[in-house]
Each structure stands twice: as C-alpha cells, then as structure tokens.
C-alpha cells in the first residue's frame, strides 16, 4: 500500500465521485460562529461533503478574511455561500425552498444524530462556540440532534460536530 499523490490522487477521487454521487441536498447554517478558524474549517468540510450552500448569519465573519482563507484553503471561492443577518429569517427562506431544518444542539427534544431520519433536502444548523444555537433559532428548527459524549467534555468543536453529522447523512442513511 502506498499513499496517493498528484495525478493518481486526482484520478482516484474523480473515479470515486463518478460512482458515488450523494443522494442528499445539504445546506449548513452557521448561527453566530465567532471564530474565523471554525468558519474556515466549515468551508473546507462543506467542500469535502459537497454541500449546496453555507449560510452565514449573525456575528459569523465572512470571506474574504485571512484566517478563513488560510484554514479553509480558499474553499470560500468554491463553496456557494451567502450572509444573512437574521438566522430565523434565513431558516424561513430555506423552509420555503423545501429544506427540513435540523439543529445540531443539546436540546430537550434532541435525538442522537445517528437515529434521525434526515430528509433528502436538509439544512443543518450549528451555533456559537460557547452558547450554541439560540432559543429563537432553535424554535425555528424542525428538529434537533446531538452527538453523545462519553468523556468529561460536554461537546465537540462546532466544525467537528458538523462534519460528523454531514458525513453520517451522506454515508449511513439506510445502512
């Protein structure tokens, strides 16, 4: 076994994509993500998962931004994104487009992320690194999912949590 680099890597990824097209139309809404490094990481994850759009809201910094560009490896130039001040208004618009909106948040009615039946058009909402998704934004969501924590920490980094749920949706539905 040897690592793939250069042309071999490009061919491998191209061939995989041709035979494994995602069956989901996924959007992520970032509600007041404060740290540019997390936003950059989410752009990179969004590109890797092939999501349709990132919606940046509230105090979330927007590209161009040196930290977002560096951490995200300039994926903000490839991933469709938009900024909307009010996350509740953004959610309303997404629902009008047929998206089912699911918060990745520790909430009283949240279910483990791996037990939720995600519809074909799903928007995942992630919130501020310290405060999570606000009550108003959570109230606008259709459901909430959480990642079980088995150690002493109560949560994972926001971009890691988004990554886990995105890739679960892409590869574990119906498994």
CATH of the domain at 135: 3.40.1280.10
Q: Is residue 128 part of a domain?
A: yes
Total tally of structural domains belonging to the chain: 1
Q: Assign residue 78 a region (left: φ > 0; alpha: ψ between -120 and 50; beta: otherwise).
A: alpha
Q: Is residue 1 part of a domain?
A: no
- Give the pLDDT confidence score for residue 172 in this predicted structure: 80
- Cα 174 to its chain centre, rounded Å, is 20
**Tokens 């259709």, residue located:** 142
- Give the pLDDT confidence score for residue 175 in this predicted structure: 43
pLDDT < 50 stretches in the chain? 174-175
Q: Is residue 52 part of a domain?
A: yes
Q: Is residue 90 part of a domain?
A: yes
The separation between the first and the last C-alpha atoms of the chain, rounded to the nearest angstrom, is: 28
Q: Is residue 10 part of a domain?
A: no
pTM over 0.85: yes
Tell me which residue range forms the domain holding 160. 22-172
Q: Is residue 7 part of a domain?
A: no
- Give the pLDDT confidence score for residue 22 in this predicted structure: 86
Q: Is residue 6 part of a domain?
A: no
């Amino acid at each position: 076994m040897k690592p793939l680099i250069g042309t071999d890597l490009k061919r491998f990824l191209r061939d995989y994509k041709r035979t494994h097209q995602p069956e989901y139309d996924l959007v992520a809404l970032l509600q007041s993500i404060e740290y540019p490094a997390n936003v950059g990481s989410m752009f990179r994850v969004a590109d890797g998962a092939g999501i349709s759009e990132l919606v940046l809201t509230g105090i979330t910094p927007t590209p161009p931004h040196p930290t977002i560009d560096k951490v995200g490896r300039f994926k903000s130039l490839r991933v469709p994104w938009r900024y909307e001040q009010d996350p509740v208004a953004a959610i309303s618009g997404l629902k009008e487009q047929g998206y089912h909106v699911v918060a990745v948040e520790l909430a009283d009615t949240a279910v483990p992320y791996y037990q939720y039946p995600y519809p074909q058009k799903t928007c995942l909402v992630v919130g501020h690194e310290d405060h999570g998704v606000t009550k108003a934004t959570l109230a606008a969501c259709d459901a909430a999912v959480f990642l079980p924590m088995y150690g002493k920490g109560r949560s994972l980094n926001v971009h890691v949590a988004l990554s886990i749920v995105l890739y679960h949706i892409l590869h574990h539905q119906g498994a």
